[in-house]
Amino acid sequence: MAELSAERVAANLAAVRDEIRSAGRDPDELEILAAVKYVAVDDLPALADAGITLLGENRAQDLVAKAERWPDRFTWDFIGQLQSRKVKQILPYVRLIESVASDSALRQLERHADPSTEILVEVNLAGEGTKSGIAPEELDAFLERASVRVTGLMTMPPFAEDPEESRPYFARLRELAHARGLERLSMGTTQDFAVAAQEGATIVRIGSRLYA
């Protein structure tokens, strides 16, 4: 990836906000999270200068390195597949863990999280074997086993060229969350965030669209 400029990121962010607005949502009603898996640590200040302060990282070691390099400049969510042995490592740096989907992760959270720690439970709505996530029919039992603070749900639908193909998954996640009184809905990425916004997303995760 070429070196980022704040001007380019700001222009791309404005385009994302315009697309959310065109989809019928006020972009101020949801959070735009910049997925920074492929953004070099030295490029992160360009995001802050462009007005982006909520970042998401997929890899625990990279999250720690980036958060320690730029302390107090960003808010961090962990958005990758969570390994239980990494829970303690990332907890001091994150606002949210968006991808809890195993009992082993729950046990580590129970041991190391403080009462303010928030998590989202990842739901595998399509039943894809290559993705992590709790099956919808197992969600209630998983929530009952969770003694940490669950404030919402997250999902990653199957990749599709047509964003409309993601709509049923986003609508279903919204139904699951609302039925259980969960407020946060992290859903939608670069290719389908506008549809996710229409279906009630409170967090959209944008990657390459911001950096192109």
Residue 93 sits in a domain whose CATH number is 3.20.20.10
Q: Is residue 193 situated within a structural domain?
A: yes
Predicted confidence at residue 2, as pLDDT, reads: 64
Which residues, including other chains, have CB under 8 Å from residue 168's CB and lie 6 or more apart? Answer: none
Its pTM stands at 0.95
Q: Is residue 16 situated within a structural domain?
A: yes
Q: Is residue 1 situated within a structural domain?
A: no
Convert 193-205 to b/e letters by CB count within 10 Å (16 or more is b). Answer: bbbbbbbbbbbbb
Tally of structural domains, the chain: 1
Q: Is residue 15 situated within a structural domain?
A: yes
List, for residues 26-85, the tens digit of each pLDDT value. Answer: 999 999 999 999 999 999 999 999 999 999 999 999 999 999 999 999 999 999 998 899
Q: 107: domain range?
A: 6-211
> Is 91 within 8 Å of 100 (Cβ atoms)?
no
